[in-house]
A and B are shown apart, each in its own frame.
Chain A
Amino acid sequence: MIPTRRTLLAVAVATLLPLTACGGGSGSSGSSSSAGGTYTFWDPYPQFDASSDWGKRVSACGTAAGVKLKRTAYDTTDLGNKALLAAQQGNAPDVMLVDNPVVSTLVEAGILNKTGDLGLDTASIQKNVIGAGTIDGASYGVPIGANTLALYYNKKVLSAAGVDPASVRDWASLTAALKKVKAAGKKGITFSAINTEEGSFQFLPWFWGAGGDLTKLDSAGGVAALTLWKQWVDAGYAPKDVLQNTQTTSWQEFATGDYAFSENGTWQLGNADKAGFPYGVVNIPGRTGGSAPVPTGGEFVTVPVQKDSSRYDVSKKIVTCLTSATNLLATDTTLMYVAPTAAVQAEQVKKNAELKPWVAAVAAARGRTSGGLGTKYPTISQPMWTAVQAALSGGRSPQDALDTAQAAARKG
């Protein structure tokens, strides 16, 4: 091409335009209709840098879609607020991975596209996993994988105390096991009852395992679950600092090797191998036996609304690249998640038999915002974790604390 004055001008304008657009703090702008350009991608995995497997997967999916994908990682709790602010400023990212209970909030804010409108295929995804991102029958994201909670146990501590892990089938037998462990001079169980969403997440298996209903926090089932936890803390089966424990610090306590059980998630499997003692995993028992329903964890890949809808084609390619049946195995192995489709789960178990109890747990899991709760869930969860804190710290009785919580939840 001969550089005429006009082309020079065009080049100058083209280089200046993205600059001025970047001044608004946005990355999602740039030349719109042309192929190529930069697309933005947000996720809640600050622990993975660009050189990690996950970082490489993301940029590879950008390259495959013919664009440069600029990835930014935020803290989980931060991401939802950042997304709202970005949407308000009109510079939401092209593709965003968000924690599943946040999806309904973002849908309420009107900033997510339906997967159906984008032409994304979600037919093979397990119903209970995609449930958290389904509002009024339409899904607003594709689960990248699922994780959930189960009980890790320390084989050494249990055998020293004469407890057979197979005997743990309901609450009574679990409490009996904890009693034996304590009598043998070891510590019972660690979990997280912190006053954040993590605390509610960890409480739900017990709450649901007793037949609790999130719309009636103070029902008999809920009170029974809170009484169980309180009884453990009061009897010294669980440490007092569960009130401050995040799931990470609770895991660190278990990793000392002093504790018999830890309620924790799939994501600790890597650390469990490093813990230096033999461990096993059992599903969290329901009050009278069977596996308790556990809450689904894990993120959804979403496509926020853009002014320039021509960007969706590339965004769709990126989402498909991350979540297609062929790529899910690699993605979920990287993230240590259970895949959201039965076919990929079977492959995962074939490769790693340890995942078997987790696949079963995911199959029995419920979304926190499922069942029509949607954005009502956050207004229930906050009073619930406050009630757990009030009861465990000894301030209130479980019934009293949950009565207050229900009153607060009803007000919204």
Chain B
Amino acid sequence: MSPALRRRLTTLVFVLPLLVYLVAFYVYPLYRNLDLSLRDYTVRSFVAGDAPFSGWDNFRTVLDDPTFGPAMRHTMVFTFVSIAFQYVIGLALAVFFNRHFRLSTVLRALFLIPWLLPLIVSASTWSWMFNSESGVVNHLLGTVGLAPVGWLTSPDWALTAVIVANIWIGIPFNLVILYSGLQNIPGELYEAAALDGAGAWQQFRRITFPLLRPVSAITLLLGLVYTLKVFDLIWIMTKGGPGDASSTLATWSYQLGFGTLLPKFGPGAAVGDILILIALVFGLLYIRVQRRQEA
């Protein structure tokens, strides 16, 4: 064996575990999902494994479904509104905690709690708080003289309610990453700016924000991909209801595949594919942004 070949083989052996991992946990499930979405599965052919190839039929079914439009719209509203608020609040808190006052570390740690709680706990708690009969939110509204709101029972409010809960859950992520970004901004810049007479707002606008841009871009793009696929929170709080007032592509896909007594695997997988495609677009965008920053 020539040394060159040997070296090639050695590298291959080192890479092999990763390759096996990627194939087993990424490529194969993706392939299976694509396969499911391109075949006409009934419960019988699912078990027998002889579902006929049906091309784009499942996609056509899904796109023609009256649920598709609202689900797509809700997904976009849910994602972008969540991200916007998470980012703004996360940034404000990061700047706030960057001042190092007494107990700031303790407080910052407390802010991480939403991130540490299991989602089923936080989502159930939110759905109790938003309960239209006995929820604490309506109780508080009542004490200031406002009429109770059907947070989870009114089609006008359900999406808002799940977005509020999701923002709360997403703030710690933004806080942590933006805070670490702030640490990398040299303190001399602020000192120099202060000498030049820049106020707090100007310091933020001219120094903090521009220097935080690379970190911000990554936070936002990661947040996009995470939020796009949020399923458990919505499922626990509203199951996409009332009607389909808060259903997103993720909950709809689950609803099709597992939500009824008679699973529709094909269309469910097709919705999943569409979701993956959207996430992929954002993922590529992320890689591009990252490359531009490195260059």
Contacts and interface: CB of A to CB of B under 8 A. Distances in A.
A88 B263 CA distance: 14
Nearest to B49: A88
B160 to A, nearest CB: 14
A243 B42 contact: no
B242 interface: yes
B262 interface: yes
Contacts of A239: 132-133
Interface string A119-149: 0000000000000000000000000000000
A101 B261 CA distance: 8
Contact of B44 (A102, A108, A253, A386): A108
B48 A253 contact: no
A27 to B, nearest CB: 18
Contact of A392 (B49, B238, B242): B242
A243 B242 contact: yes
B43 A393 contact: no
A390 B131 CA distance: 18
Given A84-B46, A241-B152, A381 B241 contact: no
B261 A244 contact: no
A87 B127 CA distance: 36
A240 B133 contact: yes
Nearest to B240: A195
Contacts of A379: 260, 262
Interface in B127-150: 127, 131-133, 150
A320 interface: no
Given A84-B263, A239-B133, A378-B261, A195 B242 contact: yes
Which DSSP category, helix, strand, loop or mixed, fits chain B's interface?
loop
A375 interface: yes
Nearest to A244: B152
A196 interface: yes
A111 B262 CA distance: 14
Nearest to B157: A393
B150 A390 contact: no
A395 B157 CA distance: 12
B244 interface: yes
A244 B150 contact: no
A105 B262 contact: yes
Given A108-B44, A109-B47, A195 B263 contact: no
Q: Name, among B66, B133, B259, the residue most crowded by chain A CB atoms within 10 Å (CB to CB).
A: B133
A196 B49 CA distance: 28
A395 B242 contact: yes
Given A84-B46, A393-B155, A240 B243 contact: no
A105 B262 CA distance: 6
Contact of A395 (B47, B152, B239, B243): B243
A40 interface: no
Contacts of A377: 261
B153 interface: yes
B245 A393 contact: yes
Interface string B94-134: 00000000000000000000000000000000010001110
B28 to A, nearest CB: 15
Contacts of A109: 43-44, 46-47
Given A375-B262, A381-B260, A395-B155, A386 B49 contact: no
B209 interface: no
Contacts of B259: 196, 382
6 contacts: A81-B258, A84-B43, A240-B132, A378-B262, A386-B243, A393-B150
Interface of A: 77, 80-81, 84, 87-88, 101-102, 105-106, 108-111, 194-197, 239-241, 243-244, 253, 375, 377-379, 381-382, 386, 389-390, 392-396, 404, 408
Given A109-B46, A195-B239, A244-B131, 11 more contacts: A80-B261, A84-B43, A84-B46, A109-B43, A241-B152, A241-B153, A244-B241, A253-B133, A379-B260, A381-B261, A392-B242
